[in-house]
Chain A
Amino acid sequence: GENVEQHPSTLSVQEGDSAVIKCTYSDSASNYFPWYKQELGKRPQLIIDIRSNVGEKKDQRIAVTLNKTAKHFSLHITETQPEDSAVYFCAASKGNTPLVFGKGTRLSVIA
């Protein structure tokens, strides 16, 4: 089955700097790659997703890139702000199968 590895497990950045979180997946048939943000005490919420027919997607300060050949995808957050501090999860799936989540990255943005 699918296996998703996520790195790093913790990340600290200065406010205004960029943050990058990377994930690799094992099943080349996976075609949907969402990213979730979970703030302390809250439910995970989708922040951006990408499909396998697209190489990059951007939404304001957040972007996701996908390299199907290497089977990895990354989340890029530019101009980080304290409210970006949270746990971020990547995931992968194909067709109707359940999302397979990475173990999460705890991002701290230091003011």
Chain B
Amino acid sequence: EADIYQTPRYLVIGTGKKITLECSQTMGHDKMYWYQQDPGMELHLIHYSYGVNSTEKGDLSSESTVSRIRTEHFPLTLESARPSHTSQYLCASRGEGQGNNEQFFGPGTRLTVL
């Protein structure tokens, strides 16, 4: 079944560590996104991509980077985690065209930085 997968689902790490949050989709979508969201609160766009080799910064880059080497894979890296990075991170993908424009979200990674 076509879906968006995120790993890990939960992560607790110490300050200063480098981490990579994984996101893969089998939707066949070109457009992918990363959001930061405290539970039930506003969605903040961190990075997005229009396709392979395309990456753009959102409103909240939060000292993170992304890469898009393959269509289905869009990992997010925090070079040096801080307690202010504690949040939930949601990956999303979106189709193209009038009949296929829905944006789907992954299940999220809940990150705690001690």
In the complex, the answer to whether B43 meets A32 with C-beta atoms within 8 Å is no
Question: Least Cβ distance of A24 to chain B in Å?
Answer: 16
In the complex, the answer to whether B40 meets A104 with C-beta atoms within 8 Å is yes
Residue interface mask A93-104, B partner, CB < 8 A = 1: 000101101011
Cα distance, A104 to B38, chains bound together (Å):
12
- Chain A binder among B13-21, B69-77, B78-86, B98-106: B98-106
In the complex, the answer to whether B58 meets A98 with C-beta atoms within 8 Å is yes
Chain B: residues with Cβ within 8 Å of the partner, total of: 23
Known: A43-B108, A96-B50. A32 touches B40 (CB 8 A): no
A12 on the B face (CB < 8 A): no
When the two chains form the complex, which single residue of B33, B39, B42, B102 contacts A49, counting CB atoms closer than 8 Å?
B102
| Residues of chain B lying within 8 A (CB to CB) of residue A49 | 101-102
A70 on the B face (CB < 8 A): no
Chain A: residues with Cβ within 8 Å of the partner, total of: 20
A111 on the B face (CB < 8 A): no
Known: A87-B40, A98-B58, A101-B43. A43 touches B90 (CB 8 A): yes
In the complex, the answer to whether B98 meets A98 with C-beta atoms within 8 Å is no
In the complex, the answer to whether A43 meets B41 with C-beta atoms within 8 Å is no
Interface residues of B in 35-50 (CB under 8 A from A): 39-43, 45, 48, 50
In the complex, the answer to whether A106 meets B40 with C-beta atoms within 8 Å is yes
Known: A40-B40, A101-B42. A46 touches B107 (CB 8 A): no
B29 on the A face (CB < 8 A): no
Which residue numbers of B lie inside 8 Å of A, CB to CB? 31, 33, 39-43, 45, 48, 50, 58, 90, 94, 96, 98, 101-108
